[in-house]
Structure 1
Amino acid sequence: MELNVVDLSRLQFAMTALYHFLFVPLTIGLSILLATMETVYVMTGREVWKRMVKFWGTLFGINFVLGVATGLTMEFQFGMNWAYFSQYVGDVFGAPLAIEGLMAFFLEATFVGLFFFGWDRLSKRQHLAATWAVAIGTNLSALWILIANGWMQHPVGSAFNPDTMRMEVTSFYEVLFNPVAQAKFVHTVSAGYVTASMFVLGISAWYMLKGRHIPIAKRSMAIASAFGFASALSVVVLGDESGYEANLNQKMKLATIEAMWETEPAPASFNVIAWADMEKRENVFAIEVPYVMGLIATRSLDTIIPGIKDLVERTKDRIRQGAIAWDALQKIRQDPANASADVRETFLQNENSLGYAYLLLPFTDNPMEATTAQVDAAAWSTVPEVMPMFYSFRIMVACGFFFILMTTVFFYYSSSGRLDVLREKRRWLLHVAVWSIPLPWIACEMGWFVAEYGRQPWIIESMLPTSAGVSSLSVTEVLLTLAGFVALYSTLLVIEITLMIKYIKIGPEDGENPDAVPAAPKQPVPAAASVPAE
């Protein structure tokens, strides 16, 4: 396969983004769990809860530092690999990223220092406030990042200025309360809560199998199972909301997730298992459940979900309309001050389809002269590979229902005071919990793959193709930076895993049997009362 700057730039950003997201969900979830545990400590005054906060806080700190380090490189890539994208959307995209840095990250980074070094310098309540500030800052960081990402998925509250060739904000309120962004935020943070819960649950199960730190393991397991159960249910409900928004705003993404080539009568069936042939543009086989997809995606019995082929035909019309807008834009750019009112009016009438004209640029230099074959090729380029989308989504969903099952089982044992039964008679459940630790990360990565790969070829949905947003770099330059990132991130991954395993093996501070009543001090036996040896 021929290497090109667009594919290499996409590969580099995908690699760094997916790697960065190994740290994000655990940071988001652990921050809330730490604040919850410390709240119990302040309310009860029992030292075992303080030791729990310090132990899980150590793992949080390792994860937090590496998450920050890997997140910074992603922002540099906007200017390095995606210069035209940055220039095109800077007025819109820059605002939430700047607010995230000024309001959320500074709050999080400032108070994380107080969390680690303020135990002996702050009162209990002051330290608790610092811990909650870390948790709030962490979640606010996710909010502003996802507002920016949600705008890329559904660009609202903005308009294209043909004189400046930039997107400009028309309503920051619409950008802020973008329904796609809000759905992504609650779904993503809930996934982070599940990740942290399964992490804590698995490590606590390992301690119980080893017979170590049992009091802390039991309490950690109780909180993780309860928090994880509520979060896992939320992920499913909020994921349904994301699917509903996709049907409204990203119909091609939804059609490829479901391997739905043809438009079906409402309500559409759900493909449980399918295998698609991209060349023949049909499913080789599929196991369907009637009505389910229509109910999930439209919440009705009479709304039709368009299939891939139907959407491609609609795209062809948008491409032809976009070519008219592109031609008018070129005339405006040649002489902005003297562009006629008719030219500007023509542009405004077709402006919403301008992005579709850019899909033709890999095939022709002049979209107005595109042939029927070129229009067809550009329209079919809007269809992502079906099989990766189809099965990535189902892996994510399967993991989600597994998390509900696992947290339900452990919540039952912890709430009924029967965790010792797991050690004595149900050790296999503890082993399952330990081996389940990686699954939330797999589910999260599958979710991000579906979200980001599913909107290709758009870097901004229906407005700017990914191929139009890259920098003017050579293949060699991108390859060198890609190799550098692979080497650096591989090193960081080894460091992360090594440190995590090291501190998990060390475990919490000693202080077992926190429920034991302190023994009365022994009284010295008077010498006169001693019994002589016989």
Structure 2
Amino acid sequence: MELDIVGLSRLQFAITALYHFLFVPLTIGLSIVIAIMETVFVMTGRTIWRDMTKFWGALFGINFAMGVATGIVMEFQFGMNWSYYSHYVGDIFGAPLAIEGLMAFFMEATFVGLFFFGWDKLSKVGHLIATWAVAIGSNFSALWILIANGWMQNPVGAAFNPQTMRMEVTDFFAVLTNPVAQAKFVHTVSAGYVTASIFVLGVSAWYLLKGRHLQLARRSMTVAASFGLASALSVVVLGDESGYLSTEHQKMKLAAIEAMWKTEPAPAAFTAFGFPDQETRETHYAIHIPAVMGLIGTRSLTTEIPGIEDLVKLAELRIQQGIKAYDALQAIRAAGSTAAIAPEVRAAFEENGPELGYALLLKRYVDDPRQATPEQISKAAWDTVPRVAPLYWSFRVMVGLGMFFILLTGTFFVLSARRQLDRRRWLLKVAVLAIPLPWIAAECGWVVAELGRQPWVIEGVLPTAAAVSSLGATTVLFTIAGFVLIYSTLFVIEMKLMLKAIRKGPDEHPAPAPGRLAPSASPLATAE
């Protein structure tokens, strides 16, 4: 990444986004876990399940607060660092963000308050409804964010208006039902469920190793193992769906993930291991598994997956069409009014308009894309290839960890069924050490999703380089330093609060008198 204004703006957003996403998966997953636990409490009346709900709920609360604080900063960046992006697609992108804000700051926040402070004031069923509302709100908040992000990956239901120089909504229902957004949503929330399951599994294993809170630990591990196994299996299935959709909508991303430089005969092999070299356009020491990539990417044995070099040739053709669209756009703007636009100009723009974004790739090399040389067109076409090595390895780390999570949760699911959770201490130690791994997998997933889209901020529509604000590099560097300092401080605070709450453990209470829950301190007291 070049450290110009574009590179620095990307770096700042990457830092804040990846940091924010440290909290999102655990919030999404723990909200469901605590709702399950409280459901069991309401159904059975056993106090241990209430104590479990309060304990894991306290950890959820700490994490939720940090997630909200860091998420606000991200949304402000669209106006600060990406002002042209906000101007260009604000009509589409703004609506899901506004709805997400309503979900997060009204529905979620309201019911989070009821969850923490309503134990003595609500009936069992009323409090359970509030808890499930928190879980549903957390998941639907993610839905709207991923609808916005999915539109950036596959811009449907919108069209460019040459009069206003903006993208405008033509079919909001198509934006909502975007298949890429729906696949990303279910894949992301399932990854959040795995994250929470491994977290609960690891913390409970630590209690078993220490011989503390054994009832809570065993029951928590049973919930985490069963919920985590189902979630880990679903992540694999839903990840396969995302790969299939990439074949339709983001062919270059798929080719880069596979380091597939040349188009292979169908069905394409999967490169299990290798060292991609973007300079020589080769993958050294590659180990291939025949036909697997063809099955994953196309779900057939006869459909071809294009390689990077063929996709670059296609990009050259699209750039040339984009130049025609750019020329027609200048004529439309010069006409001044709709009535003054010549029919042939209108027809040229309608025919080539979808490729206008490809002409904007030339802005890196020439002010007027119509003056671009064949060499500059070739360079712009190769710019459509993202950085292959980070994509290649991030994807494999993510997949490898996903397989490990299936094995880990499956093992503890069997041990739970046999009531042998504490029989093998080495497995408990593995569970403790595995706690950070879901976050590594989740961050790798976002690297694949976002780095794989480059050089586009909106796939095929707006290049990243054209979307940034007119800021000085010094200004952006200063804000990056500020974010790193503040976020590092917040991370230390978060870890101290979480570790202190875990070391203290749950507040265990005797069964309440009939008709009313026993009064107790707020679950947040465990973090004090």
- How does the TM-score come out when normalised to structure 1? 0.94
Is 1:293 equivalent to 2:293 in the alignment?
yes
The amino acid of 1:318's aligned partner reads R
For the 8 Å contact 1:276–1:285, the answer to whether it is kept is: no
Q: What is the rounded CA distance, in whole Å, between the counterparts of 2:507 and 2:237 in structure 1? A: 39
Instruction: Say how many residue pairs are matched.
Output: 509
Q: What is the rounded CA distance, in whole Å, between the counterparts of 2:37 and 2:309 in structure 1? A: 53
Deviation at 1:340, TM superposition (A): 2.0
Q: What is the rounded CA distance, in whole Å, between the counterparts of 2:282 and 2:369 in structure 1? A: 29
Q: What is the rounded CA distance, in whole Å, between the counterparts of 2:413 and 2:336 in structure 1? A: 66
Q: What is the rounded CA distance, in whole Å, between the counterparts of 1:284 and 1:223 in structure 2? A: 44
For the 8 Å contact 1:163–1:333, the answer to whether it is kept is: yes
Q: Give the alignment of 1:413-428 within 5 angstroms.
A: 413-421=415-423, 426-428=424-426
Q: Give the alignment of 1:135-284 within 5 angstroms.
A: 135-284=135-284
The amino acid of 1:74's aligned partner reads M
Deviation at 1:381, TM superposition (A): 0.7
Is 1:443 equivalent to 2:445 in the alignment?
no
Q: Which has the larger radius of gyration?
A: 1
Q: Give the alignment of 1:355-434 within 5 angstroms.
A: 355-421=357-423, 426-434=424-432
User: Which of the numbers 479, 483, 486 marks the counterpart of 2:477?
Assistant: 479
Q: Give the alignment of 1:457-496 within 5 angstroms.
A: 457-496=455-494
Q: What is the rounded CA distance, in whole Å, between the counterparts of 2:382 and 2:14 in structure 1? A: 23
Deviation at 1:104, TM superposition (A): 4.9
Deviation at 1:60, TM superposition (A): 0.3
For the 8 Å contact 2:162–2:329, the answer to whether it is kept is: yes
The amino acid of 2:385's aligned partner reads V
Residue matched to 1:21: 21
Deviation at 1:284, TM superposition (A): 2.3
For the 8 Å contact 1:154–1:461, the answer to whether it is kept is: yes
Deviation at 1:367, TM superposition (A): 1.1
Q: What is the rounded CA distance, in whole Å, between the counterparts of 2:101 and 2:91 in structure 1? A: 16
Residue matched to 2:350: 348
Describe the SS at the equivalent of 2:363.
Answer: coil
The amino acid of 1:446's aligned partner reads C
The amino acid of 1:487's aligned partner reads L
Deviation at 1:23, TM superposition (A): 0.1
For the 8 Å contact 1:105–1:141, the answer to whether it is kept is: no
Q: What is the rounded CA distance, in whole Å, between the counterparts of 1:404 and 1:2 in structure 2? A: 39
For the 8 Å contact 1:105–1:138, the answer to whether it is kept is: no
Question: For the structure 1 residues 2 and 392, does the alpha-carbon distance in structure 2 shift closer, same or farther, using more than 3 Å as the test?
Answer: closer
Deviates more, 1:444-453 or 1:101-110: 101-110
For the 8 Å contact 2:48–2:508, the answer to whether it is kept is: no
For the 8 Å contact 2:422–2:428, the answer to whether it is kept is: no
The amino acid of 1:418's aligned partner reads Q
The amino acid of 1:174's aligned partner reads A
Q: What is the rounded CA distance, in whole Å, between the counterparts of 1:237 and 1:278 in structure 2? A: 30
For the 8 Å contact 1:108–1:133, the answer to whether it is kept is: yes
User: Which of the numbers 488, 498, 502 marks the counterpart of 2:496?
Assistant: 498
Deviation at 1:460, TM superposition (A): 0.2
For the 8 Å contact 1:105–1:137, the answer to whether it is kept is: no
Deviations 1:13-65 (A, max 9, x none): 01000000000000000000010000000011111111101100110000000
Q: What is the rounded CA distance, in whole Å, between the counterparts of 1:483 and 1:84 in structure 2? A: 24
Deviation at 1:264, TM superposition (A): 0.5
Deviates more, 1:204-213 or 1:340-349: 340-349
| Structure 1 gaps, min length 5 | 515-534
Q: What is the rounded CA distance, in whole Å, between the counterparts of 1:2 and 1:293 in structure 2? A: 32
Q: What is the rounded CA distance, in whole Å, between the counterparts of 2:154 and 2:458 in structure 1? A: 8
Q: What is the rounded CA distance, in whole Å, between the counterparts of 2:267 and 2:121 in structure 1? A: 62
Deviation at 1:385, TM superposition (A): 1.4
Residue matched to 1:510: 508
Q: What is the rounded CA distance, in whole Å, between the counterparts of 1:262 and 1:105 in structure 2? A: 48
Q: What is the rounded CA distance, in whole Å, between the counterparts of 2:474 and 2:169 in structure 1? A: 36
Q: What is the rounded CA distance, in whole Å, between the counterparts of 2:159 and 2:478 in structure 1? A: 36
The amino acid of 1:222's aligned partner reads T
Deviates more, 1:77-86 or 1:408-417: 408-417
Q: What is the rounded CA distance, in whole Å, between the counterparts of 1:90 and 1:336 in structure 2? A: 24
RMSD of Structure 2 on Structure 1 (CA): 1.1
Describe the SS at the equivalent of 1:156.
Answer: coil
Deviation at 1:282, TM superposition (A): 1.6
Q: What is the rounded CA distance, in whole Å, between the counterparts of 1:404 and 1:306 in structure 2? A: 32
For the 8 Å contact 1:157–1:172, the answer to whether it is kept is: yes
Q: What is the rounded CA distance, in whole Å, between the counterparts of 2:400 and 2:2 in structure 1? A: 36
Describe the SS at the equivalent of 1:273.
Answer: strand
Describe the SS at the equivalent of 1:312.
Answer: helix
Is 1:78 equivalent to 2:78 in the alignment?
yes
Question: For the structure 1 residues 349 and 447, does the alpha-carbon distance in structure 2 shift closer, same or farther, using more than 3 Å as the test?
Answer: same
Q: Give the alignment of 1:6-85 within 5 angstroms.
A: 6-85=6-85
The amino acid of 1:31's aligned partner reads S
Q: What is the rounded CA distance, in whole Å, between the counterparts of 1:472 and 1:63 in structure 2? A: 35
Residue matched to 2:526: none
Deviation at 1:226, TM superposition (A): 0.3
Q: What is the rounded CA distance, in whole Å, between the counterparts of 1:168 and 1:458 in structure 2? A: 18
The amino acid of 1:290's aligned partner reads P
Deviations 1:307-332 (A, max 9, x none): 00000000000001101101111222
Residue matched to 2:131: 131
For the 8 Å contact 1:308–1:383, the answer to whether it is kept is: yes
- How does the TM-score come out when normalised to structure 2? 0.95
Residue matched to 2:522: none
Q: What is the rounded CA distance, in whole Å, between the counterparts of 1:217 and 1:485 in structure 2? A: 37
Residue matched to 1:521: none
For the 8 Å contact 2:253–2:453, the answer to whether it is kept is: yes
Deviation at 1:2, TM superposition (A): 6.0
Q: Give the alignment of 1:328-339 within 5 angstroms.
A: 328-337=328-337, 338-339=340-341
Deviation at 1:510, TM superposition (A): 3.5
For the 8 Å contact 2:152–2:459, the answer to whether it is kept is: yes
| Structure 2 gaps, min length 5 | 512-528
The amino acid of 2:142's aligned partner reads A
For the 8 Å contact 1:63–1:496, the answer to whether it is kept is: yes
Deviation at 1:353, TM superposition (A): 0.5
Q: What is the rounded CA distance, in whole Å, between the counterparts of 1:291 and 1:477 in structure 2? A: 50
